Amino acid sequence: MIFPMNAPMFDLLILSITATEDSYGYQLSQKIKKVSNTKDSTLYPILKRLQEQGYLMVYDQPFQGRNRRYYKITESGRQRYRELAEEWKAYKEAVDQIIEGGEDV
């Protein structure tokens, strides 16, 4: 994709994915790579920040002799997700109106 990602968009994507199911880092990165050329090393500081802000909790689960770190959305994370989703919806609608030559925004 040629459109850059910013912190709120990363937050929205991560919270959206974890709102559906608990996810481990590699799984999150693969889903986000569908819309961004982001490197894996970019993802982990964002996950850490979301955890520190109380939006995600972390737990380890054994997988093939190793532990996988899973990220689970918290209730405050769900609230933040809803806020960001509303912001995204309004933003997307405004951009679509400009692109489609619709009414003034």
Residue 66 parent element (H or E): strand 66-73
> 54: which 2 tokens?
């109380």
pTM of the full predicted structure? 0.88
Residue in 29, 23, 11, 24 with CA at minimum distance from that of residue 79? 11
Q: 70: which strand partners?
A: 24, 59
Any idea which fold 7-92 has? Arc Repressor Mutant, subunit A (1.10.10)
Query: For residue 1, what pLDDT is reported?
Result: 60
46-98 per-position pLDDT tens digit: 999 999 999 999 999 999 999 999 999 999 999 999 999 999 999 999 999 99
User: How is the chain split into domains, by residue range?
Assistant: 7-92
> 13: which 2 tokens?
């994507």
Residue in 58, 36, 38 with CA at minimum distance from that of residue 47? 58
